[in-house]
Homo-oligomer: A and B are copies of this chain.
């Protein structure tokens, strides 16, 4: 069941805060990396390139967890457990440019590689805890 992101923590997603995203490896062990993020309604959106470890993990196992902390106060954070509700390439190039604008102040994502296919993952929160 989806749970709502508290209004009092939605500001975290307007800051240049990284999501520390955890996915599950084929052997059941966890993996965690920092990624850019934004909100799409009550979904947390992240964007990566097809074929990367976290892409393969999320296609195999949609259960994920993430924490996003206030860049101005690491003791204020939102911790989410949830599920990847949607995986799509549609709009993913525009979305990574949007994130480049948010995080780098640049109109275009500057690290695109030839042949890279961008993918959006929309994460539905199922359990939320907050601190600070």
Contact = CB atoms under 8 A, between A and B. Distances in A.
Contact of A79 (B29, B32, B77): B32
Contacts of A27: 63
A65 B30 contact: yes
Interface residues of A, number: 26
Interface stretch (A5-13, A18-26, A86-94, A112-120): A18-26
Nearest to A17: B74
Interface string A68-82: 010000100101010
How many copies are assembled?
Answer: 2
Nearest to A82: B29
A65 B66 CA distance: 12
Contact of A18 (B24, B32, B65, B69): B69
